[in-house]
Chain A
Amino acid sequence: NAGVTQTPKFQVLKTGQSMTLQCAQDMNHEYMSWYRQDPGMGLRLIHYSVGAGITDQGEVPNGYNVSRSTTEDFPLRLLSAAPSQTSVYFCASSYRDGGNTEAFFGQGTRLTVV
């Protein structure tokens, strides 16, 4: 059972380059989300999806795009990388069972923009 898988684990980009962070889950969870973690700022929600074809913005969405064409995959796209996007990115998925839910996280992608 792989859980939530993120690729790549590490990435260095030049300012202005674009790239896609991949996230896949094999638990058939409806809900998936992307967070960034910065020193002193904690984990902040970038974008989230409550099901295939449905996405919405979180707390810090600027500079990022997402799509959810399948239940399993939720890629995060950086259109034109900026040094301010240097961060550790975490993907999460969760289920909802009545009034209960639990979140599962990937191992993170450490991104440096130079």
Chain B
Amino acid sequence: KQEVTQIPAALSVPEGENLVLNCSFTDSAIYNLQWFRQDPGKGLTSLLLIQSSQREQTSGRLNASLDKSSGRSTLYIAASQPGDSATYLCAAMKTSYDKVIFGPGTSLSVIP
């Protein structure tokens, strides 16, 4: 059974810092890995999708990497801003089942 964990559960940093969010999954025979952002009381916004044949994706100040052999993905946020404050969720997808298994999320707070 696929399990997805995220470390840390919560993170508070001053504005301008670079930071790394970690995601681990138990079944490395995957996958696509998708990172989402969720603002309080809101839905999920897709940030980055790493397809099975890729190792990383970049969008603006965000960079996500995927290492299937170690069962890990990281989301790197450069020059953090208060507007980055949200919960970040990683989700692992196994194409043969099409199920999306979520991690518990990392709650990020960027202090001005």
Question: What residues of chain A have their CB less than 8 Å away from a CB belonging to chain B?
Answer: 30-31, 33, 35, 42-43, 45, 48, 50, 58, 90, 92, 94, 96, 99-108, 110
Contact = CB atoms under 8 A, between A and B. Distances in A.
Which among A43, A58, A107 has the greatest number of chain B C-beta atoms within 10 A? A43
A105 B44 contact: yes
Nearest to A91: B43
B12 interface: no
Given A105-B43, A107-B42, A108-B43, A100 B51 contact: yes
B13 interface: no
Interface residues of B, number: 24
A100 B44 contact: no
A96 B95 contact: yes
A48 B99 CA distance: 8
B64 to A, nearest CB: 13
